[in-house]
């Protein structure tokens, strides 16, 4: 769901099959609880960096009330919900989040803002909701962080969610990040202010990553490497794409928070479908497996890596020919990632290599130099997508940033992007020689721009076709698999 869509309704607090508790039970539930305060948690590791981000946002909107919700849980089926992940902009400013929390930057008369996190207070055993509310009750979903722990953990002033409406009503001018929480959208309906500019500013703030963010993305890539190794080790006994997905997910959930997006485990001709995520096909010896997957860390930064692997451990001649062309295109694109270059330079370098390769293979119906013209682009029949996107808390990060960061502004140290050329020869495409039909190859790495060039964060996974075969054999995915 994009941030500008209306958020779905929250899960119901009671289900039709719930039995209404009698008064005697409610009276009994109010007694016999240890009300001593639990030990406070330690301060979040990135507290200083998070505060600095809030200060930068504050400077962009002097005198305006700023309201950034964490979002609400999404209903999966009736009264069950998806695992909660706070909105990306909220995470970037707070570090972690619970359902319905709201960060408010309250303008000070003398300038700047005070940051206040509105959250669920500690469990009140005198109110029966802790027992009766299946959507929010502590006995159903666990206790909230609470006000005291929020102050200690996040270094933020915290107030009960119930005070949010009154605070917003005290202000005439402000901006609300909409589409995440219907109640917050309604509260901010009468505020006069640049709502769209807030969303853009929040994306702009994420374009250049700080050292802590880059370290976390490197960790995501390392966990992703391990998950890919798990998949390769399991290939000799893997029979379905779903098994591939489960193997990868096991590492992602065990050592991270989740996968950063729906895993693409595309075997055989499914690899020619760019966003194949049904993962309901077979994994057959002799086929290629295109695995596009990334681990999201507990701090919610995600890797985005693709490798195309020969299921039997060795490429066939036709597979190797296609794979090698994509590999050469990626090497050219990676060399173009450096400070001062344009965001689209890696794309243009990759397209040049792919177009000339398609001409050599007898597939492109006109010379590559002609196809590469802006008014032709015939080679894109076989390479469907742009080569790069920003990466960070979102797999397609900074999507609402100002357009110039994609078009005219140069790459700068701290920017993180993917480099992912691909070729996709559809099984029914008669413009392609038969030996290539049904082959899909994509190679994707995560790259950070540095002062002197760039560093591939996902370099732990090989891409050279000879090294890929050696690596797979070393993990037990030999030709007999």
Domains of the chain: 23-205 (3.40.350.10), 211-474 (3.90.230.10)
Output the CA torsion 437→439→442→443 (10° steps): -130
pLDDT at 481: 38
Cα–Cα distance measured from residue 426 to residue 353, given in angstroms and rounded to the nearest whole number: 20
Can you tell me the mean pLDDT for 20-31? Answer: 91
Span 423-441, pLDDT tens digits: 999 999 999 999 999 999 9
pLDDT at 445: 98
Can you tell me the mean pLDDT for 178-182? Answer: 94
Residue 240: count other Cβ atoms within 10 Å of its Cβ. Answer: 15
pLDDT at 110: 95
Would you call 384 exposed, middle or buried from its count of C-beta atoms within 10 A (0-12, 13-18, 19+)? middle
Cα–Cα distance measured from residue 227 to residue 292, given in angstroms and rounded to the nearest whole number: 12
Cα–Cα distance measured from residue 280 to residue 277, given in angstroms and rounded to the nearest whole number: 8
Helices (H), 82-137: 88-94, 129-132
Dihedral sign, Cα of residue 403, residue 448, residue 259, residue 329: positive
- Please list, in sequence order, all residues whose beta carbon lies within 8 angstroms of the beta carbon of residue 13, skipping any fewer than 6 positions away: 129, 132, 133, 134, 135, 136
Beta pairing, strands 102-107 & 65-69: antiparallel
Residue 140: count other Cβ atoms within 10 Å of its Cβ. Answer: 14
Across 181-190, 203-212, 272-281, least confident range = 181-190
Can you tell me the mean pLDDT for 129-138? Answer: 86
Q: Which two tokens mark 15?
A: 């289900």
Task: Specify the DSSP class assigned to residue 84.
Answer: P
Cα–Cα distance measured from residue 466 to residue 400, given in angstroms and rounded to the nearest whole number: 40
Q: How confident is the model at residue 480 (pLDDT cuts 50, 70, 90)?
A: very low
pLDDT value at 8 more than 70: no
pLDDT value at 61 more than 60: yes
Q: How confident is the model at residue 479 (pLDDT cuts 50, 70, 90)?
A: low
pLDDT at 241: 98
Can you tell me the mean pLDDT for 153-174? Answer: 96
pLDDT at 165: 96
pLDDT at 5: 46
Instruction: Give percent above pLDDT 70 in the chain.
Output: 95
**Neighbour-count burial for 26-57, b at 16+ CB within 10 Å, e otherwise:** eeebeeeeeeeeeeeeeebebeeebeebbeeb
Q: How confident is the model at residue 12 (pLDDT cuts 50, 70, 90)?
A: low
DSSP string, 264-292: EEEEGGGGGSTT-----SB--TTSEEEEE
Span 147-158, pLDDT tens digits: 999 999 999 999
pLDDT value at 45 more than 70: yes
pLDDT value at 220 more than 60: yes
Can you tell me the mean pLDDT for 162-167? Answer: 96
Q: How confident is the model at residue 128 (pLDDT cuts 50, 70, 90)?
A: confident
pLDDT at 190: 85
Across 8-17, 93-102, 288-297, least confident range = 8-17
Instruction: Give percent above pLDDT 90 in the chain.
Output: 86
Closest CA to 225 of 393, 423, 475, 441: 475
Query: Residue 105's Cα: distance from chain center in Å?
Result: 25
- Please list, in sequence order, all residues whose beta carbon lies within 8 angstroms of the beta carbon of residue 330, skipping any fewer than 6 positions away: 350, 419, 420, 421, 443, 445, 463
Cα–Cα distance measured from residue 358 to residue 363, given in angstroms and rounded to the nearest whole number: 5
Helix then strand then coil, in percent of the chain rounded to 5, is: 35, 15, 45
Laid out side by side, the sheet with 113-119 consists of 157-160, 113-119, 102-107, 65-69, 174-176
Phi, then psi, of 359 in degrees rounded to 5? -65, -45
Across 34-38, 332-336, 473-477, least confident range = 34-38
Residue 118 vs residues 21, 53, 103: alpha-carbon distances, Å: 30, 18, 6
pLDDT value at 15 more than 70: no
Can you tell me the mean pLDDT for 386-400? Answer: 97
For tokens 């930068």, the residue is 56
pLDDT at 94: 98
Cα–Cα distance measured from residue 292 to residue 295, given in angstroms and rounded to the nearest whole number: 11
pLDDT at 315: 98
Span 291-317, pLDDT tens digits: 999 999 999 999 999 999 999 999 999
pLDDT at 37: 85
Q: Which two tokens mark 69?
A: 């919700």
pLDDT value at 6 more than 60: no
């Amino acid at each position: 769901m994009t941030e500008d869509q209306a958020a779905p309704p929250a899960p119901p607090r009671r289900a039709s099959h719930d039995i209404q508790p009698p008064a005697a039970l409610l009276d009994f539930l109010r007694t016999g609880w240890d009300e001593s305060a639990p030990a406070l948690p330690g301060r979040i590791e990135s507290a200083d960096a998070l505060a600095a981000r809030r200060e930068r946002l504050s400077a962009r909107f002097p005198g305006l009330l700023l309201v950034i919700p964490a979002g609400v849980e999404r209903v999966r089926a009736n009264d069950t919900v998806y695992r909660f992940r706070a909105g990306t902009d909220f995470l970037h400013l707070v570090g972690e989040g619970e359902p319905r929390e709201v960060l408010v930057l309250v303008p000070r008369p003398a300038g700047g803002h005070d940051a206040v996190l509105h959250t669920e207070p500690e469990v009140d055993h005198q109110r029966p909701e802790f027992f009766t509310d299946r959507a929010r009750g502590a006995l159903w979903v666990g206790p909230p962080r609470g006000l005291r722990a929020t102050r200690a953990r996040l270094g933020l002033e915290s107030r009960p969610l119930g005070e949010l409406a009154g605070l917003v009503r005290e202000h005439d001018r402000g901006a609300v990040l909409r589409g995440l929480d219907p109640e917050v959208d309604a509260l901010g309906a009468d505020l006069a202010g640049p709502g769209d500019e807030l969303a853009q500013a929040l994306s702009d703030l994420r374009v250049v990553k700080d050292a802590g963010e880059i370290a976390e993305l490197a960790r995501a890539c390392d966990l992703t490497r391990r998950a890919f190794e798990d998949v390769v080790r399991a290939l000799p006994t893997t029979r379905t794409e779903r098994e591939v997905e489960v193997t990868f997910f096991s590492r992602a959930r065990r050592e991270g928070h989740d996968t950063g997006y729906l895993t693409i485990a595309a075997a055989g001709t499914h690899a020619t479908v760019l966003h194949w995520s049904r993962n309901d096909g077979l994994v057959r010896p002799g086929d290629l497996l295109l695995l596009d997957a990334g681990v999201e860390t507990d701090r919610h930064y995600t890797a985005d890596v693709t490798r195309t692997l020969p299921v039997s451990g060795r490429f066939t001649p036709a597979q190797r020919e296609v794979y090698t062309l994509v590999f050469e295109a990626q090497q050219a694109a990676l060399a173009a990632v450096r400070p001062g270059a344009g965001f689209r330079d890696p794309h243009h370098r990759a397209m040049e290599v792919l177009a000339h390769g398609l001409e050599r293979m007898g597939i492109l119906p006109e010379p590559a130099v002609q196809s590469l013209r802006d008014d032709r682009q015939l080679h894109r029949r076989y390479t469907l997508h742009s080569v790069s996107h920003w990466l960070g808390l979102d797999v397609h990060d900074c999507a609402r940033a100002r357009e110039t960061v994609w078009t005219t502004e140069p790459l700068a140290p701290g920017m993180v992007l993917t480099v992912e050329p691909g070729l996709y020869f559809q099984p029914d495409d008669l413009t392609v020689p038969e030996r290539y039909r049904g082959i899909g190859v994509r190679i994707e790495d995560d790259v950070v721009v540095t002062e002197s060039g760039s560093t591939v964060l996902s370099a732990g996974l090989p891409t050279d076709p000879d090294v890929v075969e050696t690596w797979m054999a070393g993990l037990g995915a030999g030709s007999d698999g």
